[in-house]
Structure 1
Amino acid sequence: MSSDVCDTVPVADTDADSSADTDTHGGPGKAVGAERVPPEPTSSSWAAVFSLAVGVFGLLTAEYLPASLLTPMAADLGISEALAGQAVTITAVAAMLSGLLTASLTRGIDRRIVLLGFTVLVIVSNLLVAVATNLAMLMLMRILLGIALGGFWSMAAAVAMRLVPAALVPRAVSIIFSGIAVATIVAVPLGSYLGDLTGWRNTFLAAAVLGVLALVFQVFTLPRMKPHGTARLGTLWEVLRRPGFGVGIVGMLLVHMGHYALFTYIRPALENVVKVDANKLALLLFVFGVANFVGTLVAGWLLQISLRLTLSLTPALMGIAALGLALLPAGQVGYGALVILWGLAFGGVSVAWSNWATRMVPDQAESAGGLVVVGVQSAVAGGAAAGGVMFGLGGTVTVFTVSGVVLVASALLIVLRVKAPRNPAMN
């Protein structure tokens, strides 16, 4: 059952001048300006970390399912595929708003309760999507999923800080975010298979069952975590004005826009540039997903060595891969190696930037995480839109060339201008 050690010692008022505080594992807090950094745990709650990774897998599986079930969903609901596809768009919009608002709206609530609440929203969303009879009901339930998605992402790295000692936070975040890569590998092909076998509604029911399993795991492993700080809507602006934070967000936007401009057109690139057939295409996409998973775990190790190296190396490698795919006569084996390099590098991007946000603003890690969520979701939309313009002008070669240049430039910006604080445990 979840630990309640944190309630055995009174927690000081977050507005007090004292820097002493207590938390789940009873470590001391640190003052940073008017707020204080949540106390560092004295022991690791790895079971809780893995329960959050399972939750991420459930979240991302639910988010990705419409991509593999779009045609049968549209036919059954009597709507066009274009309208059914807006289930993905509305989820992203809700995630952006949730990422911005979660820290302030839940500032007085135990973080364990908030996380469990997000998992319940995932379950409810999937259950009601499975019985949806019209577009309005489908959209409403996908909004619930977006709330859970954005809220969880805004808190993920901040919660990792409460579960393991500072030296192990990069590893914990990489484990939590590995759920993204696993969902990337599994969700779309498995969703398509189950949809053909049992129907799209039963596939969403299966996703709800996955959510229940994650909820049970979290109930038994997540400790109570009293809220720290006094985050409000104005806190977001205050965080954005912190020295070096705005420049870092610009770097993060460029990296994600460069990637999503590429990723939106990965299929035509592989078909037209690499010249693969349907079977090889599926294999390459699977290999890309596996490389992404490995890259997520490798990033956890690399972050313990150097945050700046991880932040700059990932877009540099992605840019090299993009330019190689566009400009080099590498042959199918060479192109396959470049796709693997791309997947491996991108696996570290989310982990690196989440760690960067918590190190830059440790006293308002959840608000910083919310800004990262908004930045990433904006970059997804902006990257896809920019990629569409470039694709219309010059096809996949233009998309990959321009995006590759943007990624290499973002790596240079990170090296020269972005602050990369050391791991507190190494100071």
Structure 2
Amino acid sequence: MPLALYALAIGGFGIGLTEFVIAGLLPEVAADFQVTEAVAGGLISGYALAVAIGAIGLTAALGRVDRRRALLGLMVLFIAGNLLSAIAPDYGLMMLGRVLAALCHGAFFGIGSVVAADLVPAEKRAAAISIMFGGLTVANVLGVPLGTFLGQAAGWRSTFWAIAVIGVFALAGIAALIPATPAPAGGSLLGEFRVFTSGQVWLSILVTILGYGGMFGAFSYLAYTLTAVGGFPATAVPWLLIVFGLGLFAGNIAGGRAADRNLPVTLIVLLTGLAVVLAGFALTAGNRTATVVALLLMGGFGFATVPGLQMRILGHATQAPALASGANIAAFNVGNAFGAWLGGTTIDAGLGYTSPLWAGAAVTTAALLVYLLATRLPGGELAGRTTLAPATAAR
């Protein structure tokens, strides 16, 4: 695989670290700014909202720009946001830093998916995309625990200084390794948005929301499931989350390779497997050994869908692949929010701490049904002809 893919992975690692590490540092941030932890939690929800906005708005604005230059500009924005977070004297400027960093998140992965796919032959596109997203999974496995430990040992600001340095490395790698591409000729911003007239694009987005929402809804309340149902001590939760993160990493790589071989079979198997794993986890959550296995499989099946879902929307949006890819990144975040809301609703209804797992299984089953429908409709993979074309067709 081209070295340029690993430059994108470094950027993905820094972005993933920015998104997730704040959760482990909220007590220190809240104390420093003298705000409640609930208010400090706005740094997480504010980031997620900005990701969704940037994924579509910023990607569309950069649609007529050479993709290498676009990625460089996004990394500069990412570095600036983390530097502002590191030196922020008050909560308001900290929030601004988080928003600046988040704006580049969706656009980076959206444009980066197209660049990654263009760097390799058509039969390796999903695997190439999985390498870029591999940086995000490594951030979950290693980056978040290490970033939390650094913030607790040297002050939470040190973590954001470190993330800014990672951004500089990614910037240098992209500048040195990503080839320049001519700006797409012709067209207009309005023309870019015509990609959303495709029913298959919207079905792809819906599958992403439901499929990822099912997993993330269960993930959002894992700490409660592990301690209240599984009987694990609270001190074991970070280590158990590393097991989940290992599943993410392995699933991402395996899912990319499988999607290159047969996209529809891969997505059908993965969505089915994820629904079964979530239901099985709910049934065996009181057994510690079964819980560890379920965590590994939940992460593996859940994130293995990501390269295939990105590949599918790229193939159905050849006239504006970067914008559609960015919209799919926004869909992942909408799925996060939807899953967390649904899981919380089931708990508030008194259904217990395994209820987010059951809800996740149901939502993932809905994703599978929507995908099966999409493959049979005109333009779908199983409708007699395949429209999944290389991303380069958009140039």
- Is this a same-fold pair by TM over 0.5? yes
1:104 offset after TM fit, Å?
Answer: 2.8
1:249 offset after TM fit, Å?
Answer: 2.1
SS of equivalent to 2:230: coil
Is 1:396 the counterpart of 2:353? The answer is: yes
- Paired letter, 1:222: I
1:374 offset after TM fit, Å?
Answer: 2.4
The answer for unaligned runs of 5 or more in structure 2 is 391-395
SS of equivalent to 1:361: coil
Q: Match for 2:14 among 52, 58, 64?
A: 58
Q: Match for 2:103 among 147, 153, 172?
A: 147
1:424 offset after TM fit, Å?
Answer: 4.7
1:388 offset after TM fit, Å?
Answer: 0.9
Q: Match for 2:330 among 374, 388, 409?
A: 374
Alignment match, 2:153: 197
Alignment match, 2:64: 108
Alignment match, 1:136: 92
1:79-228 to 2 correspondences below 5 Å: 79-228=35-184
Q: Percent identity?
A: 29
Post-superposition CA distance 1:379-417 (Å, at most 9, x none): 211211111111111122222112212212322332243
The verdict on how the C-alpha distance between 1:133 and 1:329 changes in structure 2, with shifts beyond 3 A counting, is closer
Q: Match for 1:362 among 289, 305, 318?
A: 318
Alignment match, 2:250: 294
1:275 offset after TM fit, Å?
Answer: 2.1
Please say if residues 116 and 218 of structure 1, whose CA atoms lie closer than 8 Å, have aligned partners that are also in contact: yes
1:235-254 to 2 correspondences below 5 Å: 235=191, 237-254=193-210
1:67 offset after TM fit, Å?
Answer: 0.8
Please say if residues 63 and 323 of structure 2, whose CA atoms lie closer than 8 Å, have aligned partners that are also in contact: no
For normalisation by structure 1, the TM-score amounts to 0.84
The verdict on how the C-alpha distance between 1:307 and 1:218 changes in structure 2, with shifts beyond 3 A counting, is same
The verdict on how the C-alpha distance between 1:197 and 1:62 changes in structure 2, with shifts beyond 3 A counting, is same
- Paired letter, 2:173: F
Alignment match, 1:275: 231
Please say if residues 94 and 143 of structure 1, whose CA atoms lie closer than 8 Å, have aligned partners that are also in contact: yes
Distance 2:131 2:283 in 1: 35
Please say if residues 217 and 356 of structure 2, whose CA atoms lie closer than 8 Å, have aligned partners that are also in contact: yes
SS of equivalent to 2:354: helix
Please say if residues 16 and 136 of structure 2, whose CA atoms lie closer than 8 Å, have aligned partners that are also in contact: yes
Q: Which moved more, 1:174-183 or 1:62-71?
A: 62-71
- Paired letter, 1:359: G
1:194 offset after TM fit, Å?
Answer: 0.5
1:353 offset after TM fit, Å?
Answer: 1.0
Please say if residues 296 and 348 of structure 1, whose CA atoms lie closer than 8 Å, have aligned partners that are also in contact: yes
Q: Which moved more, 1:300-309 or 1:274-283?
A: 274-283
Is 1:411 the counterpart of 2:368? The answer is: yes
1:227 offset after TM fit, Å?
Answer: 2.5
Alignment match, 1:7: none
- Paired letter, 2:241: L
Q: Max radius of gyration: which structure? A: 1
Post-superposition CA distance 1:51-89 (Å, at most 9, x none): 000110011111222111111111111222222221121
Q: How many residues were matched structurally?
A: 381
Distance 1:329 1:82 in 2: 29
For normalisation by structure 2, the TM-score amounts to 0.91
Post-superposition CA distance 1:323-353 (Å, at most 9, x none): 1121247732222212211111112122111
Alignment match, 2:393: none
